[in-house]
């Protein structure tokens, strides 16, 4: 199970979202950029292409975004395993206290 993780740091605030595809993560990034554009650049129109707009928006040293692919196969398998164990027809899994 592959997902794309979007990590944004903007004005000291961190945000992380998980998406089923890179295109969905990129779309979310551009929604963020467009929603903050006028606050950051006043009346400057955002007629640039998306890549240039993102580059300009995150030009400050302390601001950044990362799009990264993550493999959640083992996590998904473990969730399935725990779901089966906790179905009610089997003993509940032992959890550390």
Consecutive sets of 10 residues in the chain, 97 residues long: mean pLDDT of each? 95 96 98 94 83 94 96 84 67 51
In this predicted structure, what is the pLDDT of residue 3?
95
Boundaries of every domain in the chain: 2-85
In this predicted structure, what is the pLDDT of residue 93?
53
In this predicted structure, what is the pLDDT of residue 97?
44
DSSP 8-state class, residue 42: T
HSE, CB side, 13 Å, CA atoms: give it for residue 87: 8
In this predicted structure, what is the pLDDT of residue 6?
98
Helix H or strand E encompassing 23 = helix 22-41
Query: Does the pTM exceed 0.85?
Result: no
DSSP 8-state class, residue 41: H
In this predicted structure, what is the pLDDT of residue 7?
98
């Amino acid at each position: 199970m592959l997902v794309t993780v979007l990590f944004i740091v903007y004005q000291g605030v961190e945000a992380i979202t998980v998406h089923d595809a890179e295109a969905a993560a990129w779309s979310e990034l551009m929604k963020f950029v467009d929603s903050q554009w006028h606050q950051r650049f006043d009346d400057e129109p955002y007629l640039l292409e998306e890549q240039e707009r993102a580059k300009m928006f995150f030009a400050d040293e302390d601001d950044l975004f990362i799009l990264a692919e993550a493999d959640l196969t083992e996590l998904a398998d473990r969730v399935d395993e725990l779901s089966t164990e906790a179905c009610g027809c089997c003993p509940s899994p032992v959890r550390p206290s």
